[in-house]
Structure 1
Amino acid sequence: MGERTEVYAGCCDDDDGYRSGRTEEEEEEEDEGSGRARDGAGPGLESLTEMDEPPVSLGSGLEYDLWEGQFAFSGGAGHDCPALSPWDSPRDRNGNRADRIALNKACNHLSTKRAKILKLTELLIQVQMLQEQMSVLADNQNHSDERYTRARQENATLQASLKNSYENATSSIRVLMLEEQLREVELRAQEKLQDEERRHRELVARVDREKQLQVENCAIRLQTLELENASVREEAVRCRTQADKLRSEVLRLEEEQSRCEAALAALREELEIVREQERQQQQVSQANQQLIEELSQELERLRIEHKRTLEELEERGSGVSPTAHEQLRAKFTQLREENKRLQEAHDELQALLLTRSVEEGRNLLTGHQSLAAELEAMSQGE
């Protein structure tokens, strides 16, 4: 088995084997394609496009049909097998480095298998049968191309329809979202309007209450001011009446002052007269007092003489005649009566002087204006 063998591997049932022969760039493209499919472009459209590529020949020895799942060998034996993997995808023909590494790994595995195939010559018949199957696969290549073209067209149609459906669905969803937003906006506007109406009603009610309270306060203030005005008017009338009374009282007091001044002048004249009379009475009293003292001295002298006379008479005894004795007794009685009369006159003069002094003091104190007030007025006037 020294012929060169080419293997076409395109199995799409095992996803892990299919992904092991792809590069990182292809995996990123597939991830982006799957992301776009999840965004609404339709699931599996990019994978259908990649899987619908025609089978690629990896050499002149072996080919594999994606649709029939059969192998066919072509070319002679004894050639070295290239480094190919049985699970490589149709994208390995791009010649990327990662693909080459994967193909080398796969070819190493096939080299070990070839050693076993060389030892088993009895499998040659089966290889020939596989070659016949490969010829059948070559015949089916045209059918697969037609199916691939038809699948691409159907895929394009499906993509267009899915795109339209996605656009329609997106438009419908957008319309529904806009309607929902519109309903929410209407609800919020209605709630806001209700809140504003409630707030305005509360504000109007509060303003009405404040206005009512202000009106009541103004009414109470007006009543208070009216009462104060009435009281002020009454007070003004009373003050006017009191002023008239005070004015008349002032006039009366002025007249009374004039009358009092005249009375004061008269009282001053009377005071001078009374003082003069008092001075005269004092002189008379002093004269009476002097007379009383003289009479008292005379009485005392007569008493002493009478006593001395009695003593002389007693000493003389019967030498005095009864006639002289009677005369002396009569003279003594006369002197006693005169002394008594003088004593009574003295007492009467003392009582009269005291009475006149008391009456003058009472007149000065109980008069229209007392002497102390008169003296005070005179000092203030002076």
Structure 2
Amino acid sequence: MRFKKSYRPFEDSTRMASVTSGVEAQTDLRPDEFEAAENEGEEDEEGLQYDLWEGQFSLTSGPTEDDLSSFCPTKAIKNARNQRKLLDRWSSQDIDNLITEFDTLKGFDYDTNEKRLLLQRQMSSVDLPGSVPKNRMKNGDYTKLCWNNNNTLHEDLSEEVQMLQEQVGHLAESQATTDDKYSKVKQDNTSLIARIHMLEENIRELELRSDERLDEEQKRNKELLARLEREKHLEIENHTLRLQTLEKENGKLHQETANLRSTLEKIKLEKRTTEDYLLDAQNSLTQLQDEHNGVLEARKRDQDAFEVERGQSKHLINELTKEVEILSTRTSHHVGVVNGKGGQIIEDDPLEVMPSRIKELESEIRNLREDRRHLEEKNEELMGQILNKGLEEGKSILISTDASKPSIDHEIQEMSDNQIRTALKEQKDVNFQLRNYIDGILMNIIEKYPELLEVRK
């Protein structure tokens, strides 16, 4: 008997039913017909033998091992190796399935030959590894399933029943254990379900709380957004007003800038004109200084002449004073002599003695005072004329529009800043020197001739 190499175990009860029905369909064959069918086909290299009395499968090839060992030991060894290879390809699950299928046949009440035929037909319908089509099978090339006597069969059946009872006991124990586990799992499931319900309640409460908090947060966010919108609008309005104010101020500043630029241009023109006037004034001042120097020289000459005349007058006054003293002593001496001689007191006035001389001296003094007064008036007039002339020339320079005359503006433009600063510094020095000179003259007059500075009524 040859089996196919790709064995697929029975997957469900449908496959089992098909196998059983196939076996029942072939029960009408006789043993000699089944053996004739088995002798057809080609030679098998591998086979499967199931011993009902031993309750196990064994693999053979062709004749039995005793026959093979009697005439072909080399081939027996080769077949044994092939059997080992085939057993390696068979899985434990495949063998268990075959045993289960065979156990289903034990319940039928057949005689020995019928059981043999049923088992052979069932095994021929099963796709096992190493099986080949029946038309290739030949007599003596496959293993036959043999049946022993009835006693051995009953013993094997009793052993199998005992083994099944033990398996049932084990199954009962495993069922009890499974029931205990199931009850425990059920209790755990109940507790877990209760816990799940509790957790679901907690989740619902948390969802409600989260929804409430979400509503509160949304409400608060809406209020915050509304407040922010109001603040934004207020800030926009404030910035708009400020922008308008800044634009107005910017316009005013632009206008003021234009006005200041025009004013600056005017000031520049005035500066140029003033610089021109300043240059003309400097020129006029130079001329006035020259004239002032001339006046001072003339005054000095007049003062020197006045000093000479004053010295002469003083000398004359001293001489007259001495003469008056001499006359006074002579008069007193003459009066004393007269008193000694006659006892009469004669008082003679010295003016009567020399009336003409005294009158002359007084007239000279009056003349000198008149001359001094005339000189002072003349000096004052000259100073006033100098000042008036300087002012008139300055005004004429400032007011003059004659293009032929040089203007101060033109001269100042021709001069550099350093030259202007130098000229101003020189003018300041000259003015300081003149002021010191005038102060010195006034101090000398106050010390020596204060009567010249007396205010006349």
TM-score (norm 2): 0.34
- RCO higher in 1 or 2 (8 Å CA, sep ≥ 6)? 2
